[in-house]
Structures are given as structure tokens and as C-alpha cells.
Structure 1
Amino acid sequence: MAEREGCCKTPFFTIEWAMWANVNALYSAVFMFIGGVVAATMETINENSLPVHSFGVVARWIVIGLSLIIFFIEYPRGKRRKNKKNVERPGQSYIAPVINLTFFVGKIYIFRVIFYILAIIPCIFVLPAILSAITLFISCVCYFIAAINGEEWEAPSLAWGPGATQRDDTPKVGHTLPEAPSHPPPRPPPQARQGLSAPPSAPPPRPKTNLSDAPE
């Protein structure tokens, strides 16, 4: 990955495609869940619309199950490149160890591309989930480009399991609260305050004159 970053400086390879794919796939999971629930609700209202054992009825529940799996996979954001700030989602450090234990299946993006392409198939047979199929296909394209670019998923922090991250809760330098002012307003400048708080200094001693050295 370092060699790829060093030799390819074009915008196509400098973009973090995995971050775009992560957002698309996460919203796709939400759209899939909503579409599957809407389709299942409409089937319950219209009881005799389709046979019970038809693929359309089964596909709705498959879509709901796949949406939960995709949401679980995509909720933890991956670690960004060097000199980039990692913004984690709330509670993702407790889910990331599960993805981390899957080794290459969860870390290498080409496996996510294969899984998501297979997940698009049942969405085609569920009309309310067509939008999720389109957004999931876009995330597959982004993940494929990320795999070509040499990107891999890596957890920014792990709350448990192998390689758990030790969080430092001690206050850092530069994040401490400033001291409260000791003088009521209006306050003079800092230089004047230092002069006011310092004790008054005694006048310098006068030089002693010797009477014998005085001119006649």
C-alpha cells in the first residue's frame, strides 16, 4: 500500500474509496431494511396476492436479514490513511473486534464486493428494495476500486479481544482548562497585573561621597 501511494499520485488513487463505499453500504442496509419491512407489511395486508412459498415472499425476509448483516459489517468505520483523523461512530469499538476476528473475509474489500453482489439479487425481486440495490451496487464499485488501490479495512480502536486498544484518559497538554482570573473586571493588561501583584521595590541606594575627595 505504501508503494502504491508513493508511485501513484493521481486523484484516482489518492481518494479513499473505502470511506465512500462504507457510507453507501450503510445507507443501503437502511434502505434494504425499510424496503423489506414495507414489502412484508403489504403482503400481510394483501394475504392472497402471492403464494406463500413463492420466491417473492421469501426474498422479502432474506432482504431484511441481509440488511442487518450489512449494517453490522459497515457500522465500524475503518482506519484512515496516515495523517488523517479517525472519526469513529458511537460504540463501534465494541463491534470492530468481531469484524477483526474474521481476518481476510472482513478486511479485504474484494470479499465484500462478492458478498454484496450476491445480496443485490433478492433485492431485485422486492420492489421497495430496488433503491437499496442501486446504492449497494455503487458501494460495490467503490469497494472494487479500493481493493485495486490496495486499501484494506483496519480498526482504529478495539475495546476487547486480541490487540485491544488501551485508552489514555489522562488530560493531554493543551487541553487543560485555563486558570480563573484573580482580579475583578476591568482588568489591566498582563504586564500591568504583574507589576501590581509584585511587592513595591525599595529605592536604589544613593552613592556615598568621600569628603576628602571633594574639591577645595
Structure 2
Amino acid sequence: MGQIEWAMWANEQALASGLILITGGIVATAGQFTQWYFGAYSIAAGVFICLLEYPRGKRKKGSTMERCGQKYMTKVVKLFGPFSRNYYVRAILHLGLSVPAGFLLATILGTACLAISSGIYLLAATRGEQWTPIESKPKERPQVGATIKQPPSNPPPRPPAEARKKLSEEEEVATGVSSGPQENPIPVTDEVV
């Protein structure tokens, strides 16, 4: 049985918890809760987490599906170097960011989800995983001979495809040879001999 890559689970969990933090922060700020400033903090922390977690890391085995527009955020995350690659750092960062949001009821769900993703990142770090960017491979140029399946049968200049169809129909009528369904020259009767 294959080994589980925990970082993929942690990435999805952290991205979802960032979105939950943003939503809870909007509710707390717009609802003017008594400690609404924790809601504003949750919005800022959630946006930061979403930007950090949006680019997926490359899997060790198999292929990794890249998120839409991920290549632009990958460049930004790569700038942080070992701080963004190391999952120990991400585990501590997520746990630290989750603590202030835990003081408000509207953001406590995002806090719990972020703490869980911190634990999963810690597990991934102890297993020796680290974030590596998905590099796009240069496109291979097709071989000239491989692209041509069947060479053209008539020399240039060739008429367009519609004109070729009309010409072949006219030739059939002129020669009397049809490529369509043909009649049986021997009549078939119901008599049994």
C-alpha cells in the first residue's frame, strides 16, 4: 500500500480554514460584535493563509493537478525560500495565527480548522515532507514525420474540401460508377427451388 502524503491534506484543510476565517471575520465585523477587531484580524489572517496555501505543492509520486492561476502565486511563495518550504514553519505559523481568532464566536470554527491543519502540517514535517513548486515542463516540439498521418494524394494546387466533394460526385455521375449503395444485378425471388 502506498504512503500517504500528508501535506496535500494539510494544504486543502488550511485553504478551507482560511476561507472560513474570512467568512467569520466578515460576519463579526459587519455585525459589529463587541470584539469586532478580532473579526478584522480574522479577515487579514484568512487572506494571508489563502495566498500562502493557494499554490499546491508537487507530489513525490504521480502527477499533481495545478490550481487555476497557481503559477503566479508560486513565484511569490518561492521568494520566501525555506520559510515557505518547511512544514514545521507552516505548522507553527498556522497555530500562531489561529490563537487570536479563537476569542470570537464567529471565527472559532476557522480557528479549529486552522489548528487541525497545523497538526497535519506537523505530521507531514515529521514524515520528511516539504513543499516543492510545480514546475511546468517545456513543451516538446512534435516530430515532422509524426504529425503527417497520410500524405495528400493529388498534387498542389488542391481545391478546398467542399469543391473536392462536388468534383468526386460529378465524376461518379459522368463515369456511372457510384461509391454509394449498389443494386444487386441478380433479381431475388421468394421461390424455393
TM-score norm. by structure 1 comes to 0.63
Match of 2:72 in 1: 94
Q: Distance in 1 between matches of 2:18 and 2:141?
A: 38
1:36–1:60 contact (8 Å) kept in structure 2: yes
Aligned residues: 151
Gaps of 5+ in 2: 151-193
1:25–1:70 contact (8 Å) kept in structure 2: yes
Match of 1:25 in 2: 14
Matches within 5 A, 1:165-204: 165=136, 167-168=138-139, 170=141
Q: Please state if 1:40 is matched with 2:29.
A: yes
Aligned letter for 1:69? F
Aligned letter for 1:76? P
Q: Give the fraction of aligned pairs with identical amino acids, expressed as a percent.
A: 35
1:177/1:72 CA distance change after superposition, 3 Å: farther
Q: Distance in 2 between matches of 1:177 and 1:66?
A: 55
The equivalent position to 2:47 in structure 1, one of 55, 63, 68, is 68
Q: Distance in 2 between matches of 1:171 and 1:59?
A: 56
Shift of 1:39: 0.6
Gaps of 5+ in 1: 1-9, 44-48, 51-55, 158-164, 180-216
Aligned letter for 2:122? F
Return structure 1 stretches of 4+ with deviation > 2 angstroms.
169-172, 176-179
Match of 1:6 in 2: none
Q: Distance in 1 between matches of 2:47 and 2:6?
A: 23
2:27–2:39 contact (8 Å) kept in structure 1: no
Tell me how large the CA RMSD over aligned residues is.
2.6
Please, which moves more after superposition, 118-127 or 60-69?
A: 118-127
